[in-house]
């Protein structure tokens, strides 16, 4: 069966499926092409009649996640990518809580059509679920002379404006909107908390594995210059280059960044096109911007997976999975890990005998830690190897400490914050990854039939512990979206009570106390 809803731009027709009304590919902004290319989004033009909303819209321009995998975007798809998707268990007048998912992908990839982000499971639990596309890569975050910065964030704000203006027609409450996202999506959530263009468009926020990477404007300009040099054009000509040309050199600047890391302010880069502190859309690093109190009326959940950086450490040859486990999982491998394996040129059967060594002291210095930090880490984690300390340091720098800093800053400014630590360990590679980056996505959205889940589960059946924990986490997120209470005590700096998400969730006091102490002074930078 189908159902028709009237939006501000015209009528859309969706499908009903197991008690849900599902609408896909509704434009929330005009295609960013022609004179709108590299510009702020503008509202979608009106249409006559009834527009079918049965299929996801085109993904934003991007390369395949891994070589040889089907591309999410092809040149023939063009630039008509700014669309929203809605799953609703209600109808007009119901005023259900609204949850809006913002995907990650290192700001270089991602699409709301990814089956890992399907909104049906959460919607069936009683909320209106919304996902949307935003521009990634240079289209969304590259510096272009005369163009607004952070166009991907401007897209996000435009999608939230569409939700505010239209979601009541789908059964949602425009005065009870929660945004949530992971990794790059987590930083998006954190940045939107203080973005002037998003003010008043959402009321609660969940920042999962917030990626600690925002650049000062001068570094964004340097990246644009390096990108232009790779194409043989001037920076002023970048906006005129076709998407495929920009994609062909999207990581050219990484070579210079990796060769001279000391001249860049952020500790890690998997993409050159990165959000920039422009003083308009991103006013400062989120944990610093929150101290102004501008978002004190927005409730916040912040947290990370416990072993965030293991996935990246494995790609760099610092963690050795068992050979049988790795061989079993190889058909499902996606993203950074398989890119790293191809970069090293080592077959799976040789990984265990060719692990890299690391200089822990140099790692600490690279991350901006004081000279005493190496000894502090060794004292705090006496059983850890150098490779494990490297992984701990990067987990703290890139994800775990930013979550705590967000909670600290928001609480200090008069807001209400909740902190969590996701410790459920994926069984892939014989457990070598632990609770790695992205392991929480399955639990959050309740989807285990997709390539990401297949990789994280090693192609095996989802364990009962995941299903139980996922049900509890989803109930907590929905309770938070409905009432502002996720079911555990609010954050306070002295106790730092933290929800520990495992097979049997608990609440612990300051579980990352040692790392938090080491990084305390850097929280203000």
Q: Are residues 336 and 279 in the same domain?
A: no
Q: Note the pLDDT of residue 321.
A: 65
Domain edge (last residue) among 283, 299, 323 = 283
- The CATH number linked to 491 is 3.40.50.1820
Strand partners, 86: 23, 130
Q: Is residue 210 part of a domain?
A: yes
Q: Note the pLDDT of residue 271.
A: 81
Q: Are residues 209 and 337 in the same domain?
A: no
SS (H, E, C) 358-422: CCHHHHHHHCCCCCCHHHHHHHHCCCCCHHHHHHHHHHHHHHHHHHHHHHHHHHHCCCCEEEEEE
pTM: 0.94
Q: Note the pLDDT of residue 352.
A: 36
Q: Is residue 3 part of a domain?
A: no
Q: Note the pLDDT of residue 353.
A: 38
Q: Which residue has the tokens 């023939």?
A: 76
How many Å apart are CA 358 and CA 211, to the nearest integer? 23
Task: Give the pLDDT of the chain (525 residues) as one tens digit per residue.
Answer: 999 999 999 999 999 999 999 999 999 999 999 999 999 999 999 999 999 999 999 999 999 877 777 899 999 999 999 999 999 999 999 999 999 999 999 999 999 999 999 999 999 999 999 999 999 999 999 999 999 999 999 999 999 999 999 999 999 999 999 999 999 999 999 999 999 999 999 999 999 999 988 999 999 999 999 999 999 999 999 999 999 999 999 989 998 888 887 788 875 667 888 999 999 999 999 999 999 999 999 999 999 999 999 999 988 888 876 534 443 443 444 443 333 333 333 233 333 335 678 999 999 998 889 999 999 999 999 999 999 999 999 999 999 999 999 999 999 999 999 999 999 999 999 999 999 999 999 999 999 999 999 999 998 899 999 999 999 999 999 999 999 999 999 999 999 999 999 999 999 999 999 999 999 977 666
Q: Are residues 322 and 461 in the same domain?
A: yes
**Contact indicator for 220, 143 with CB cutoff of 8 Å:** yes
Q: Given 21, 112, 113, 183, which residue is catalytic? A: 183
Q: Is 183 a catalytic residue?
A: yes
Q: Are residues 341 and 279 in the same domain?
A: no
Q: Are residues 315 and 380 in the same domain?
A: yes
**Contact indicator for 434, 426 with CB cutoff of 8 Å:** yes
Q: Are residues 407 and 488 in the same domain?
A: yes
Domain edge (last residue) among 283, 300, 324 = 283
Q: Are residues 321 and 279 in the same domain?
A: no
Q: Are residues 332 and 279 in the same domain?
A: no
Q: Given 203, 332, 410, 437, which residue is catalytic? A: 437
Q: Are residues 77 and 152 in the same domain?
A: yes
Q: Is residue 300 part of a domain?
A: no
Q: Is residue 252 part of a domain?
A: no
Domain edge (last residue) among 265, 283, 301 = 283
Q: Is 164 a catalytic residue?
A: no
Q: Is residue 114 part of a domain?
A: yes
Q: Are residues 279 and 338 in the same domain?
A: no
Q: Are strands 83-88 and 204-208 parallel, antiparallel or unpaired?
A: unpaired
Q: Is residue 362 packed enough to be buried (19+ CB in 10 Å), middle (13-18) or exposed (0-12)?
A: exposed
Which range of residues forms the domain containing residue 502? 310-524
How many Å apart are CA 196 and CA 194, to the nearest integer? 6
Residues 6+ apart with CB under 8 A from 369: 393, 518, 519, 522
Q: Is residue 202 packed enough to be buried (19+ CB in 10 Å), middle (13-18) or exposed (0-12)?
A: buried
Q: Is residue 250 part of a domain?
A: no
Q: Is residue 386 part of a domain?
A: yes
Q: Are residues 279 and 334 in the same domain?
A: no
Q: Are residues 98 and 144 in the same domain?
A: yes
Q: Given 308, 315, 332, 476, which residue is catalytic? A: 308
Q: Is residue 378 part of a domain?
A: yes
- B/e letters for 394-418, b = 16+ CB within 10 Å, e = fewer, are bbbbbbbbbbbbbbbbbbebebbbb
Domain count for the chain, please give it.
2
How many Å apart are CA 316 and CA 309, to the nearest integer? 11
């Amino acid at each position: 069966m189908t159902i028709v809803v009237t939006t501000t731009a015209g009528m859309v027709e969706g499908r009903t499926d197991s008690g849900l009304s599902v609408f896909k590919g509704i434009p929330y902004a005009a295609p960013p092409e022609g004179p709108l290319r590299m510009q702020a989004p503008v509202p979608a033009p009106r249409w006559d009649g009834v527009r079918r909303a049965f299929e996801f819209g085109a993904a934003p321009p991007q390369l395949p996640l891994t070589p040889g995998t089907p591309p999410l975007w092809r040149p023939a798809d063009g630039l008509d990518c700014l669309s929203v998707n809605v799953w609703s268990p209600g109808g007009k007048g119901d005023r259900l809580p609204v949850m809006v998912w913002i995907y990650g992908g290192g700001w270089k990839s991602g699409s709301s059509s990814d089956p890992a982000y399907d909104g049906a499971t959460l919607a069936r639990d009683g909320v209106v679920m919304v996902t949307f596309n935003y521009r990634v890569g240079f289209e969304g975050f590259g510096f272009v002379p005369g163009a607004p910065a952070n166009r991907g964030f401007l897209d996000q704000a435009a999608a939230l404006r569409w939700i505010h203006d239209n979601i009541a027609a789908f059964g949602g409450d425009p005065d009870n909107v929660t945004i949530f996202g992971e990794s790059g999506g987590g930083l998006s959530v954190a940045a939107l908390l203080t973005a002037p263009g998003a003010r008043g468009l959402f009321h609660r926020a969940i920042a999962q594995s917030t990626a600690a990477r925002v650049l000062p404007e001068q570094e964004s300009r340097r990246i644009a210059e390096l990108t232009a040099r790779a194409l043989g054009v001037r920076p002023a000509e970048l906006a005129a280059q076709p998407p495929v040309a920009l994609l062909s050199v999207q990581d050219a600047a990484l070579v210079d960044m990796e060769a001279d890391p000391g001249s860049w302010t952020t500790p890690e880069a998997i993409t050159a096109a990165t959000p920039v502190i422009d003083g308009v859309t991103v006013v400062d690093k989120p944990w610093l911007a929150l101290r102004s109190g501008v978002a004190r009326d927005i409730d916040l959940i912040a947290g990370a997976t416990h072993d965030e950086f293991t996935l990246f450490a494995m790609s760099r040859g610092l963690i050795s999975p068992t050979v049988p486990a790795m061989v079993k999982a190889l058909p499902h491998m996606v993203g950074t890990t398989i890119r790293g394996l191809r970069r090293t040129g080592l077959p799976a059967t040789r990984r265990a005998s060719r692990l890299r060594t690391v200089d822990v002291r140099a790692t600490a210095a690279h991350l901006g830690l004081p000279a005493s930090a190496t000894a502090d880490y060794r004292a705090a984690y006496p059983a850890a190897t150098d490779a494990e300390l490297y992984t701990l340091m990067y987990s703290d720098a890139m994800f775990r400490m930013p979550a705590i800093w967000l909670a600290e800053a928001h609480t200090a400014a008069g807001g209400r914050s909740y902190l969590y630590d996701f410790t459920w360990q994926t069984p892939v590679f014989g457990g070598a990854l632990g609770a790695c980056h992205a392991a929480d996505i399955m639990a959050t959205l309740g989807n285990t039939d997709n390539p990401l889940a297949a990789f994280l589960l090693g192609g095996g059946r989802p364990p009962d512990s995941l299903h139980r924990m996922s049900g509890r986490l989803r109930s907590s997120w929905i309770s938070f979206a409905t009432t502002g209470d996720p079911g555990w005590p609010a954050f306070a700096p002295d106790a730092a009570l933290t929800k520990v998400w495992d097979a049997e969730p608990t609440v612990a006091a300051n579980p990352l106390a040692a790392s938090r102490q080491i990084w305390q002074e850097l929280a203000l930078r």
